[in-house]
Chain A
Amino acid sequence: MRNTIVSLIAIILGLIAGGILMLGIGSNPIEGYSYLFQGALKNIERIGNTLATATPLIFTGLSVAFAFRTGLFNIGASGQMLIGGLLASAVGLTYDFSRPVLLLLMVLAGILGGALWAFVPGLLKAKFNVHEVVSTIMMNWIAYWTVYYVVPGYFKGDFLETESRKLPEVATLRTPFLSEMFDGSYINLGLFLAVIATIIVAFIINKTTLGFELKAVGFNRHAAEYAGMRVNRNIILSMLISGALAGIGGVAMYTGNASSIQIGILPTQGYDGIAVALLGANTPIGVFFAAILFGILYSGTGFMNAMTEIPPELANTIIAIIIYFAATSILIERFLRKFWKSSSKDEEIVVPDVKKGES
């Protein structure tokens, strides 16, 4: 509850700061924001596109948050997305199964790809204590170059060296039923996967012995070892799950929002995932809504730019400021505490994990 309020206040402060910037360049912030939200939510098609934009972010946000909760910092979601997307595309372009089987295989391939890419940092961390920040950055670049050479080498489009062939209709996550329901937007089955993933991750973290172990290892690996938990296995497992989530994010991105994979681009969603996770206070539900908010901001800016003189870069600045306010939420909390001094005392401790008294 407290976290939610803090995040909300961070968002509001970020929006206010953005509004001040708009005033600074001589635009009307109320008008700006109203177009921003209209752009994201005005009609069913736009809502669909907003959700589609949010989908990969939900996955990368969950990926980063999950790793965070277990004491690991996965900044390799970009690379994991790429490889997940690559494998899924490879399956989609190669096999000719019936749609459900094909899609299932593609998602599994994505999971496999992402997990594989995270396995290496996990293994290095567990066995050799290699800092995962460096190893995941390295893996990002390795993924970048792998896609760079594998796509033109094996899945080249007919006329283009720089992207794969287009996936056949059956091999994309877009379905007529959703596209029609949302009036031709890019919303796709990835969103369902994201909802399911959110629930599963929340469940794992909060309700299962696995989550209990992973968190214990994250907080204090010595104590976890003492208690008989297999620390190395848990570190690797945690990275695998985190990578798998990013991998499905890649599937949603390259076979849902897009239908081919381009070379020479490290998807920004990987880094945005860090921001999403943090704004969502590393809780799965929080991540879900933070990603939707990012979706709204990203997808509403175009319309705001079109309707006003506010330049595109401003929207990114607003997002950045919101993140900064989320980072400085302590300030907000301090303020709230003063404000609510009289209210119950058991909410005073702000370590997100334990607050719920869940485990």
Chain B
Amino acid sequence: MSYVVEMLNIRKEFPGIVANDNITLSLKKGEIHALLGENGAGKSTLMGVLFGMYQPEKGMIKVDGKEVRISNPNVANRLGIGMVHQHFKLVDNFTVTENIILGSEPLKGIVLDIDSAANKIAELSKHYGLNVDPHAKIEDISVGMQQRVEIMKMLYREAEVLIFDEPTAVLTPVEIQELMKIMRNLIKEGKSIIIITHKLKEIKAVADRCTVIRRGKSVGTVNVAEASEASLAEMMVGRHVSFKVEKKESTPTDVVLKIDDLSVKNNRKVLGVKGISLEVRKGEILGVAGVDGNGQTELVEAITGLRKVESGKVYLNGEEITNIPIRHRIQKGIGHIPEDRQKRGLVLDYTLESNMVLEVYNKQPFSKYGLLNVPSIRKYAKNILQNFDVRSGEGAASIARTLSGGNQQKAIIGRELELDPDLLIAVQPTRGLDVGSIEYIHKRLIEHRDKGKAVLLISLELDEVLQLSDRIAIVNNGELVGEVKASETNENEVGLMMAGVGKERNV
């Protein structure tokens, strides 16, 4: 049996935590190997070790049967290992070509040979069906395209082993389909792939084998064909996980959020939201479905006050809030799980406990007369962290930055739900979460609804929108395409509407 990569008995510690404890993973040539585990289980860390970003305390890595010491990503590159990181490593104001050639630049004399590189990229792009524009700037292209740029980077360097860390978390369903196709193409060309994902469906769809880790330890490796989604989930979490969201029929009452003919400009200074009107009632979840970049961000930012409204009005519980300060909106009962947890959701250099009171530090009992009350803050934070099973090295005193992506997300959700807002705006609430956590979060969102609160759910994952929502509003190009009842629709219909078809089918 020939393995391209073998990671044997890897151990990697971080302050206060053993991220990888005696983990073994072997990658066969030409296979797609999934790596599965809960948030914070140590997947990214393990791949970081393979890619030379971390040095393991113990263990051995073999590439093509030979023991190697991967002291930095350069070495990994030279060994034919490429990686697409959970957070893309692209320079925003560089072009696609510049990003791709960075580090292995073709030259004409002493001048960069951009043209020939661009040609080669266009060729590769065609060959693997990646469809990237070599001259576009990264900051101007969609997340999906950025990811394809990352893939292109590996291909450009002729990497043989490709690592994907949660590649689908940021993609639309269509983009995910495309990615799968691309991966299969890659395998056909003889490449080998390791993919980290929390989506069991995807594992079933593309992976050949799957290694499961839990809390830093190997649980085992299985052939995907012989495993079911349920069995994988159980291996990972250690208990049975239900995928079906259990919920009662909703009983919406008063209108909580009313949006009236709202128009909002986007970053490019043109209208990103064009005259949208919506209502969300107590006791219901309104899902907004749409392909990324069709006005969702602008819509949410307008409601939460992060962005100025061009025209139209926003009402909360019958009171106009179109132009009031953010803090007042929070006080009046808006909770917000933001799209970008690192940019908006957390002060990464603060402790977790500070982050847990980010919106309420100035309220009793966390402060009085402008003075912080640390014990009560800590108590409050510990409670949230416990409830939402946020795992970190040093508990409430951990620096937010040191948490795994999933745990950061859970912490934010916990914080927002703890505010018990009348209107909860949840943007991609389960992005990057493991199935166990997703189950839990979904349960909590429904609970929130059942308490008679309103939930506005924005997700790029059609599955999630379909399962959680009571009603679904579909947006395309900044406009409302239509609204449907979740119980009366299906993936196909919504998918079509997301593409801009079917305005007439309003509810």
Instruction: Give the interface of A toward B (CB within 8 A).
Output: 207-213, 215-216, 219-220, 222-230, 345-346, 348-349, 351, 353-354, 357-359
Contact = CB atoms under 8 A, between A and B. Distances in A.
A359 B371 contact: no
B372 A226 contact: no
Nearest to B327: A228
Contacts of A208: 367, 370-372
B15 A348 contact: yes
B349 A223 contact: no
Residue from A223, A230, A359 with most neighbouring chain B CB atoms (10 Å): A223
Given A212-B361, A228-B327, A346 B394 contact: yes
Given A209-B367, A226-B306, A358-B374, A220 B351 contact: no
Given A349-B399, A358-B374, A230 B350 contact: no
B359 interface: yes
A220 B347 CA distance: 6
Task: Name the 4 nearest CB pairs between A and B, nearest first.
Answer: A228-B327, A348-B15, A227-B358, A228-B326
A225 B338 CA distance: 12
Contacts, number: 98
11 contacts: A207-B371, A209-B370, A213-B361, A213-B362, A216-B354, A219-B348, A219-B350, A222-B343, A223-B343, A223-B345, A226-B338
Contacts of B346: 220, 223
A207 B371 CA distance: 6
B336 interface: yes
A142 B399 CA distance: 41
Contacts of A230: 325, 327
Interface residues of B, number: 37
Contacts of B15: 345, 348-349
B353 interface: yes
A274 to B, nearest CB: 21
A357 B370 CA distance: 18
A213 B328 CA distance: 16
A223 B361 CA distance: 14
B127 interface: no
B109 interface: no
A226 B344 contact: yes
B182 interface: no
Contacts of A353: 349-350
A345 B326 CA distance: 39
Given A219-B349, A345-B16, A359-B351, A226 B362 contact: no
B219 interface: no
Contacts of B370: 208-210
B358 A216 contact: yes
Contact of A346 (B16, B345, B354, B402): B16
A358 B372 CA distance: 9
B79 interface: no
Nearest to B360: A227
Contact of A212 (B338, B348, B349, B354): B354
A222 B342 CA distance: 9
B330 interface: yes
A301 to B, nearest CB: 39
B316 interface: no
A223 B306 CA distance: 11
B131 to A, nearest CB: 32
Contact of B344 (A207, A211, A222): A222
A223 B312 CA distance: 26
A349 B397 CA distance: 11
Interface centre among A208, A213, A222, A228 (most CB of B within 10 A): A228
Given A209-B371, A228-B326, A359 B354 contact: yes
B372 A354 contact: no
B350 A228 contact: no
A212 B344 contact: no
Nearest to B329: A228
A223 B358 contact: yes
A225 B306 contact: yes
Contacts of B350: 215-216, 219, 353-354, 359
A227 B394 CA distance: 24
B359 A227 contact: yes
Contact of B372 (A209, A223, A229, A357): A209
A230 B306 CA distance: 11
B377 interface: yes
A226 B327 CA distance: 9
B410 to A, nearest CB: 17
Among A208, A215, A225, A230, the one with the most B-chain Cβ atoms within 10 Å of its Cβ is A208
Given A223-B345, A359-B374, 8 more contacts: A213-B361, A216-B358, A222-B344, A228-B329, A230-B325, A346-B394, A349-B399, A354-B354
Interface string B364-401: 00010011101001000000000000000010010100
A207 B372 CA distance: 5
A348 B16 CA distance: 9
B326 A357 contact: no
A229 B16 contact: no
Contacts of A211: 372
Contacts of A209: 361-362, 367, 370-372
A345 B338 CA distance: 33
Given A209-B362, A351-B399, A359-B354, A228 B348 contact: no
Contact of B325 (A207, A223, A228): A228
A141 B399 CA distance: 40
B372 A346 contact: no
A178 B348 CA distance: 47
Interface in B291-342: 304, 306, 325-330, 336, 338
Contacts of B326: 225-228
A89 to B, nearest CB: 34
B394 to A, nearest CB: 6
A230 B362 CA distance: 13
A207 B370 CA distance: 8
B399 A359 contact: no
Contacts of B16: 345-346, 348
Contact of B347 (A207, A219, A346): A219
B240 to A, nearest CB: 35
A210 B354 CA distance: 13
Contacts of A345: 15-16
Nearest to B15: A348
A209 B306 CA distance: 22
A212 B353 CA distance: 12
A345 B349 CA distance: 18
B362 A223 contact: no
Contacts of B354: 212, 216, 354, 359
A5 B350 CA distance: 23
- B330, B338, B347, B397 interface centre (most CB from chain A within 10 Å): B347
A354 B349 contact: yes
Given A209-B367, A227-B358, A346-B16, A216 B397 contact: no
